[in-house]
Structure 1
Amino acid sequence: MTPTGAPRRLLMVMPYSQFVRKAAEAGFEVWAIWDPALREQEYLDEVAEHARELLLTDFSDEAGLRALIAETVRTHDIGTVLHLGAEESMPPAVAEAEALGVSPNPASAVTVLNDKAAMRALLAEHGLSVVRAESAGTVEEVAAAADRLPLPVVVKPARASGSRGVALIRDAADLEEWTDRVTEAGLAGPYLVEEYLQGPEFSVETLSADGVHHVIGITAKHTTGAPFFVETAHVHPAPLGQDERGAIHAVVIGLLDLAGYRFGPAHTEVILTPRGPRIVESQTRLGGDRIPLLIETASDYDIEAAIFRTLAGEPVEPPTPRHTASVGFFFFPAGRLESLEGLDAVRALPYVQAVHFPFSAGDELPPTTNSFTRHGYAVVDAESPAEAADRVARVRGLLRANVRDAVLAAPKGSLS
C-alpha cells in the first residue's frame, strides 16, 4: 500500500536509539513509541534525543498501542510507520499502520514470516524448503506429534526468539525436560514440532525495496548443538562456495516472495542439509547477536543506515566484504561473580571492535539456557575465518572469572 502522509515523517514503534539517529541523518522527522517497562530511562532519553517526540505506552495493551499509532499518524501527517524491534508487539502495530495506509508491508507478510508455524505451512504449500513438521497448540499436543514423527525431532515455540524453548527431543526424558522448562518460563503455545535438520547453519540478512529482495550478507553460525542450540559464535562472511551461496540466496528470496514482503530488513536462518538449504525461521527485522556490526566490520556497510536510505528512495547496493568479522560469546559457570580479570586487556587488543560484559562483582551469573542468558561477547576483525577463530579464542583465554558457589552439576537445560 502506498503511504498517504508526508513522506519524510516517520513513526517508529520500539526503535533502538541508533535507528532514530540514523533515520534523522537520512532526512526523516521521527516520532517514536516505546514501552517504558522495557528500557531504563537513560536509554529512553537517548531515543528521544533525535526524535521529534517520544511517546510511551504499554505494548501489552494492543488496543492502546493501536490507538496511539492512529492518533500520532493523524495528528502529525505521518507518511510511514515502521516496527523494527522485537516481534511480540509487531502484529498490532503493523495491522494499524496498514489500516491507516502508512505501512510499507501488508500485515499478512509480517505475520507469516515471524510465526514459525505459519512460515512452515506457507513453504510446504508451495513445495519450497519442505520440512516435515506439525503444529501443536499445547504441550500435550507436542507429545502426540512427537509420537507420530520419527525421532529425533526439534520442538520450539512458534513465536519466541533467541533459542528460548528450543530443544531436540530424542526420547521421553527429553520431552519431560522440555515440558518442565517451557512451563516454568511461561512459553505458551502454539509450538512447532519438526524433523531434525542437520548441517552447517547460516543467518541471511536481506533488505527489500518495492518487493525486490537484496541479500546483504550470509553469516556462519556456530552453536552448542543438540539439545539446546545456543549460538556460541558467528563469522561473516560465511565461507561458502558459489553454488552453495546461490542455493541459499534462492530459497530465502523465494520465501520473501511467497510471503509478499515488500520493504525492510529480514533475518532468515538456514541449515545447509545434504538435500539442500532448508529454512529454519525468519523475522522481519535485523539479525541480533551483533550481526549488523559484523557486516559493517567486514564490508564497511551500515545496514541499519541503509534501511532509511532505502526508505528515502536510494537504490540498494549490496556490499562486497573485504575482511572477516566474528563475534564470540562468553560462557562461565553459573554462580556469584567474585571478580573478572582480563577485561581491560581484551579492550586493548587492536582487533577487538566491541566487548560486552554486563556483570559486576556480586552479580549472579545465570546458567546459559538460551541466547539471553549468555555472559557477554567480543567482536573481532581478521583476514580469514581461521584468524578470526584464533582471535576469539585469545579473547576468551584472557578472561578469567572467579565464580563462587558455581553450579557443579549444571541443571537440566543449562550449559556449563
Structure 2
Amino acid sequence: MTDTASADRILMVLPSDRLVRKAAEAGCRVWSVWDPALRDRAYLDKVARHSERLLLADLGDETALRALIARTAREHRLTHVMHMGGAPAMGPVLAEAEALGLGANPPHAIRLLSDRVAMRELLRTHPRLRVHARRAAAAAGVREAMAHFAGAPVVVKAVAASAGFGAALVRDAHELGRWERGATARGVCGPFIVEEYLPGPQYAVETLSVDGMHQVVGITATRTTGPPHFMTTSHVHPAQLGVRDNAEIRSATCALLDLAGFECGPAHTEVVQAPGGPRILASRAGLGGDRIPLLVELATGIDLEEESFRALTGGVLSPATVRRTAMIGFFRLPDGRPPSRSRLGELRALPHVHAVDVPARPGGPAHVVVVGAGPEEAAQQLAAARDLLGAETESCAELHP
C-alpha cells in the first residue's frame, strides 16, 4: 500500500472493496466509512484489506457522521472526501466535504445530476436539450400532470433514482390506472416526474472530468425491452454510431456537465437519440452500473475505476483506442433454477467469456460478459452463452433509465 507523504488521502463513504483496491493501485491512501448494518462482516473485511482504516458509523446519525469525517480529515490530513454509495447519507457527507473544502465537486453539481426534477429545470432554458416535464408530489398527482401534455404519451419515473420503481410509458387512462396500481402495490409514494416520451435508441456515456474539462471516454449502446418499461436487456461497447450522431451525443453530455458545474471525476449520463437530436434521460456523478466499466476496459484497455482516481490529481486520460467489442446480456433462467456447476464451469472456461453472474435468489437476472472482434461476433458469443446457461429469453437489468 502506498505510504508516501505526497499520496492523495481520500475518505470514502460506502466504497466497494474493488474501488478501494483501485484507489490504492492509483497511488491513493484510503480511509473507508461503512455502516455495519448495511453489509456483513465478510464484505467489510474485504473493504478493510486495502484501506488505511475501516471506520464504522451509523449513517442515520448525521451529527456523529459529520463529526467522524471532520475528525478523520484533521487527524490524517485528508485531501478529498467522497460519497460512493448512492443515496444513503449523501446530503451530510457532501455538506461536510464542502465545509472542509475537500469535495472534488461543488455539492450543487452532484445534487443537480442526481435529482431528475432539478436536472429538467436546469435544461429548461436550453433549447437543444430541453425535455418537457412536470412534477407530481404523489401518485394521485400524476393524472393532473398528464393533462398538460394534451393526450400525448408520457414517461413516468420516480424522482429519486434509488426508489426502485423504473420508468413506464403511459399512453391513456387505462395504462395510467395500471401504473397507479403498480405504484400502490410496490409502496412507492413519490414524488414523480412526468415527461414527454422521446422515442429513439438509448446510449450510456462515460466521462472523466479534470478541472471542469470533460473527456468522453466511451459511448455504450443500451438495448431495452422498449415501452412500456424500458428494461435493459444488454449493453454493447463501443456503440456503433455515425460521425454526426457521435458528435451530437458527446456535445449534449458535455453541455449538461458544464451547466451543472461538474468539475472533477467520472460521470455517467444516459441519452436517447430522439428524432430531433439527443436528449438527456438521466445522469449522475460516478461510474456507470451494469458492469459498463468492465465493458470499457475489455474493449479499450482503459480502467475507468483506476483512472477516476488519477483524475483527482489532475491526470489527463489518453484517447481511447477501440480494440474489440464487449457486450453484456441479462437473462432469466427457467424457473429461476441455476445451471449445474459443470455447465457454469464450461461457460467460464470459454476464452471469449469474461464474467458470469448467476444470482443466488430465485428469479433474479443472470448476466454474462463476452468479447468479440466486432458487434456481430460479440452478439453470436452472447447467444451461445445464453444457450449454454439454458436461459429461454433475454431478461432485464435491475437498473432503469
> What is the TM-score normalised by the length of structure 2?
0.91
1:204 equivalent in structure 2:
205
- How far apart, in 2, do the equivalents of 1:378 and 1:283 lie? 25
1:368 equivalent in structure 2:
none
1:304 equivalent in structure 2:
305
Structure 1 residues 105-162: Cα deviation after superposition (integer angstroms, max 9, x where no partner)? 1100000000111101101133341111111111111121112213311000111249
- How far apart, in 2, do the equivalents of 1:58 and 1:126 lie? 41
* Counterparts in 2 of 1:339 and 1:353: CA distance versus 1, 3 Å: closer
The answer (yes or no) to whether the contact 1:163–1:230 under 8 Å persists in 2 is no
How far has the Cα of 1:401 moved from its partner? 6.2
What amino acid sits opposite 2:333 in the alignment?
A: F
- How far apart, in 1, do the equivalents of 2:219 and 2:9 lie? 32
Structure 1 residues 45-75: Cα deviation after superposition (integer angstroms, max 9, x where no partner)? 1110011111122334434432322222123
2:35 equivalent in structure 1:
35
The answer (yes or no) to whether the contact 2:211–2:314 under 8 Å persists in 1 is no
Question: Which of 358, 374, 381 is residue 384 of structure 1 equivalent to?
Answer: 374
The answer (yes or no) to whether the contact 2:136–2:145 under 8 Å persists in 1 is yes
Specify the SS of the correspondent of 1:124.
coil
What amino acid sits opposite 1:124 in the alignment?
A: R
- How far apart, in 2, do the equivalents of 1:140 and 1:162 lie? 17
Structure 1 residues 307-352: Cα deviation after superposition (integer angstroms, max 9, x where no partner)? 112213322223121110000111235x563765732221121100
Specify the SS of the correspondent of 1:316.
coil
What amino acid sits opposite 1:378 in the alignment?
A: V
1:280 equivalent in structure 2:
281
Residues 327-406 of structure 1: pairs in structure 2 closer than 5 A: 327-333=328-334, 335=335, 337=337, 340=340, 342-359=343-360, 363-365=361-363, 374-400=364-390
> Which runs of no fewer than 5 residues in structure 1 stay unpaired?
366-373, 403-416
Structure 1 residues 201-253: Cα deviation after superposition (integer angstroms, max 9, x where no partner)? 00000011111111000000001111111100000000001111100011100
Bigger mean CA deviation after superposition, 85-94 or 344-353 = 85-94
Specify the SS of the correspondent of 1:364.
coil
The answer (yes or no) to whether the contact 2:7–2:29 under 8 Å persists in 1 is no
- How far apart, in 2, do the equivalents of 1:346 and 1:227 lie? 33
* Counterparts in 2 of 1:52 and 1:186: CA distance versus 1, 3 Å: farther
- How far apart, in 2, do the equivalents of 1:196 and 1:297 lie? 33
How far has the Cα of 1:13 moved from its partner? 1.0
How far has the Cα of 1:32 moved from its partner? 0.5
1:111 equivalent in structure 2:
111
1:191 equivalent in structure 2:
192
How far has the Cα of 1:10 moved from its partner? 0.8
Q: Which runs of 4+ in 1 moved over 6 A?
A: none
The answer (yes or no) to whether the contact 1:340–1:400 under 8 Å persists in 2 is no
* Counterparts in 2 of 1:234 and 1:336: CA distance versus 1, 3 Å: closer
The answer (yes or no) to whether the contact 1:6–1:77 under 8 Å persists in 2 is no
1:224 equivalent in structure 2:
225
The answer (yes or no) to whether the contact 1:266–1:285 under 8 Å persists in 2 is yes
How far has the Cα of 1:11 moved from its partner? 0.4
Specify the SS of the correspondent of 1:261.
coil
The answer (yes or no) to whether the contact 2:270–2:281 under 8 Å persists in 1 is yes
Specify the SS of the correspondent of 1:330.
strand
Specify the SS of the correspondent of 1:78.
coil
Residues 238-253 of structure 1: pairs in structure 2 closer than 5 A: 238-253=239-254
Asked if residue 50 in structure 1 is aligned to residue 40 in structure 2, the reply is: no
Residues 142-181 of structure 1: pairs in structure 2 closer than 5 A: 142-149=142-149, 150-161=151-162, 164-181=165-182
1:259 equivalent in structure 2:
260
Structure 1 residues 60-93: Cα deviation after superposition (integer angstroms, max 9, x where no partner)? 4434432322222123221111123324432321
1:326 equivalent in structure 2:
327
The answer (yes or no) to whether the contact 2:339–2:389 under 8 Å persists in 1 is no
Aligned residues: 386
- How far apart, in 1, do the equivalents of 2:290 and 2:241 lie? 21
- How far apart, in 2, do the equivalents of 1:347 and 1:94 lie? 41
The answer (yes or no) to whether the contact 1:207–1:213 under 8 Å persists in 2 is yes
How far has the Cα of 1:95 moved from its partner? 1.7
How far has the Cα of 1:21 moved from its partner? 1.1
The answer (yes or no) to whether the contact 2:163–2:188 under 8 Å persists in 1 is no
- How far apart, in 1, do the equivalents of 2:145 and 2:180 lie? 14
- How far apart, in 2, do the equivalents of 1:338 and 1:291 lie? 24
Structure 1 residues 374-406: Cα deviation after superposition (integer angstroms, max 9, x where no partner)? 41200001011111111111111111269xxxx
- How far apart, in 1, do the equivalents of 2:181 and 2:17 lie? 37
Structure 1 residues 154-200: Cα deviation after superposition (integer angstroms, max 9, x where no partner)? 00011124973321112223222322333333434221100111001
* Counterparts in 2 of 1:318 and 1:190: CA distance versus 1, 3 Å: farther
> Which runs of no fewer than 5 residues in structure 2 stay unpaired?
393-401
Residue identity (%): 49
> What is the TM-score normalised by the length of structure 1?
0.88
How far has the Cα of 1:26 moved from its partner? 2.0
